[in-house]
Structure 1
Amino acid sequence: MDCPRCGSINYTKDGFVKGRQRYACKACRYHYTVAKKSDVKSVETGRMALELYLNGLGFRATGRLLKISYGTVYAWIKKWGATVDLPR
């Protein structure tokens, strides 16, 4: 994991921030964290849930298909649904 600021591979562990490992670059002294794989997966799952819902699948069916709760599907639709431009 390279430093996002200078690209250096010389870093040290520097504690935790909100449960994530924090790193300090030895070259530029920049502090950074790396996204968890679960965060990336949840964004992909959220996109898929939104797409399935927009294609006519209900909250519960979408939740069953993606193996997440329908409440999570509902929250994601409520959060991201307004940002989608629907074809007219």
Structure 2
Amino acid sequence: MATIEVLCPKCSSAVYRHGKAASGEARYRCRGCHHCFQLNYRYEANRPGVAERIIDMAMNGSGVRDTGRVLKISPTTVVRHLKNSTQRR
């Protein structure tokens, strides 16, 4: 039987299984920083790096609908990420 060693994407520590997502995919939780994540996401907006791409595209003049079309996500999700990005910085 093949095993896959899973490490935390944030701090590279060991992880443990932390149940299942609604889509049926396994969830993992880091022992060090307690970050929860999945290996595979079904929706494109949940994948790592998408939030940064949304902000970059907005700064370069792309509209909400254009950003959603290029990244294959909902325009509503694009607006939500842009509204919340001001709170994080």
TM-score by length of 2: 0.54
Structure 2 CA distance, aligned partners of 1:64 and 1:73?
Answer: 10
Percent of aligned positions that are identical: 22
Secondary structure of the structure 2 residue equivalent to 1:43: coil
Count of residues in correspondence between the two structures: 69
* Contact 2:27–2:38, Cα closer than 8 Å, also in 1: no
2:67 corresponds to which letter in structure 1?
Answer: T
Q: Following TM superposition, by how much is the alpha carbon of 1:54 offset from its aligned partner in structure 2, in angstroms?
A: 1.1
Q: How does 1:9-88 map to 2 (within 5 A)?
A: 16=19, 19=21, 20-21=26-27, 35-37=37-39, 38=41, 42-84=47-89
* Contact 2:28–2:37, Cα closer than 8 Å, also in 1: no
1:75 corresponds to which letter in structure 2?
Answer: R
Larger radius of gyration: 1
Q: Compared with structure 1, are the counterparts of its residues 22 and 70 closer, same or farther at alpha carbon in structure 2 (3 Å cutoff)?
A: closer
Unmatched segments (≥5 aa) in structure 1 = 6-10, 24-29
* Contact 2:51–2:81, Cα closer than 8 Å, also in 1: yes
Unmatched segments (≥5 aa) in structure 2 = 8-12
TM-score by length of 1: 0.54
* Contact 1:14–1:22, Cα closer than 8 Å, also in 2: yes
The residue number in structure 2 matching 1:26 is: none
Secondary structure of the structure 2 residue equivalent to 1:47: helix
